[in-house]
Amino acid sequence: MVDIAFGPSVVVQTAGEIKPGSKSEQAYTSIKARIVQGTFSPGYRLVLVKIAEDLGFSVVPVREAIRRLEAEGLVKFERNVGATVSGIDPTEYLYTMQTLSIVEGAATALSAPLIDSAAIARARAVNEEMRECLDHFDPVRFTALNQDFHSVLFEHCPNPHILDLVHRGWNRLASLRSSTFRFVPGRARESVREHEDLLQLIESQASADTIEHAARRHRAATLDAYLAQASAIPEPLPTSQEEKR
């Protein structure tokens, strides 16, 4: 596993304690972790008092935490009704993936000129790990490695806002994936190949447009694979840059 400097709102993987911080902070990371890991799956009812006594806190910090999660789109908070983990709707998955494809594409294109050969080597190492992972397939591990791969590329992304949007997308996606939406068989292998293609584009200093398009397609292809297998969605909205060809 490559050592990566994660952004502020990246997926929480170590549930252990790092530092106390404020209780509001703790509540935030704790609840977020459970949502992302799937302990609180979409539709789960988050009752303030229950969570509060579960964590040993009062309700006020928990409220704050939930408000923050609401702003990130992970939960829905209705007045006098309560909070529920959002994203039962299949269209949520679609929108999240579509948005993610756009911001990841932009982030990759912005980062590409700043990626040095050492970083490319590290990214390639992660991708090889993913390739090895294909045989004994573990979705959780694969997803983690996938995020590692892209995190390496985004290491020197000049625009922190874009990066933040990527991280939010990843969190939402993790929340959705852990419950309803499953990996499409065979897609993982394609993904590894596309990663290699992407690295070569970056190495060859391809135009920003080319890289952006490739990165965007990389994510969009996963969505397409899902749409192709799951006909549960009534009328699939056009994934961007799709209908023209």
Question: Which residues here bind DNA, judged by CB under 7 A?
Answer: 22-25, 46-50, 56-61, 63-64, 79-83
Dihedral pair phi/psi, residue 41, rounded to 5°: -85, 165
Question: What is the spatial distance between Cα 233 and Cα 242, in angstroms, rounded to a whole number?
Answer: 18
DSSP state, 114?
A: G
**Closest approach of Cβ 45 to DNA, in Å?**
7
Comparing CB distances to DNA, the nearer of 64 and 128 is: 64
84 binds, among a second copy, DNA, none (CB under 5 to 8 A by kind): none
Q: Which of 55, 63, 90, 120 binds a second copy (CB under 8 A)?
A: 63
Question: What is the spatial distance between Cα 53 and Cα 60, in angstroms, rounded to a whole number?
Answer: 12
103 binds, among DNA, a second copy, none (CB under 5 to 8 A by kind): a second copy
57 binds, among a second copy, DNA, none (CB under 5 to 8 A by kind): DNA
Helical residues (DSSP H) of the chain, grouped into ranges: 23-37, 48-55, 59-71, 90-111, 117-133, 139-153, 160-177, 187-203, 208-229
**Residues 117 to 156: which contact a second copy by CB under 8 A?**
none
Number of residues forming the site for a second copy (CB under 8 A): 41
232 binds, among a second copy, DNA, none (CB under 5 to 8 A by kind): none
62 contact partners, CB below 8 Å, separation of at least 6: 27, 31, 48, 51, 52, 55
186 binds a second copy (CB under 8 A): no
21 binds a second copy (CB under 8 A): yes
Residue type, 18: I
162 binds a second copy (CB under 8 A): yes
Q: How far is CA 95 from CA 4, 44, 92, 120, 169, in A?
A: 28, 21, 5, 30, 10
Binding site for a second copy (CB under 8 A): 21-22, 25, 60, 63-64, 67-68, 70-73, 79, 95-96, 98-99, 102-103, 106, 109-110, 113, 158-162, 164-165, 207-209, 212, 237-238, 240-244
